[in-house]
Amino acid sequence: MPKKVRRDKRGSAPLRTGAGPSSRRLDSVKELLGARVPVLKRVTAQAERAHFWTEWLSSHLPPELRARVSGVVERDDTLVIFAESAAWSARLRYSVAELDAEIRAAGARLAAVEVRVRPR
């Protein structure tokens, strides 16, 4: 006996494949990134400032201290310089105190400069 055609059967609904038109709109990469632009601008600005301060410090610090700086971050109005150990942090703190006027001239918005420990 031949099988009945699907449209004649009662019960379950016909299966849908992904080949037909969908009701959900797909977002393009450009639109997705466009929604995140303020966040991306802030991140790239922070990265540029960190690169600027890393270059500036490497040109103004003695060679033995340059190698011991593990990072530089500008947060609001404070420049935070990270040293790889507590001993190097103390030495870096004295060198930064001597360069304080030059650092503030390079970064007009800075109100404070801090030295902290962050191992590599």
What residues make up the domain containing 47? Answer: 28-117
Q: What is the rounded radius of gyration, in angstroms, for the C-alpha atoms of the chain?
A: 29
Q: Please tell me the predicted confidence (pLDDT) of residue 26.
A: 66
pLDDT mean by block of 10 residues, the chain; 120 residues: 65 61 68 73 88 94 93 92 95 94 89 92
Residue 75, domain member (yes or no):
yes
Q: How many domains does the chain have?
A: 1
Residue 49, domain member (yes or no):
yes
Residue 64, domain member (yes or no):
yes
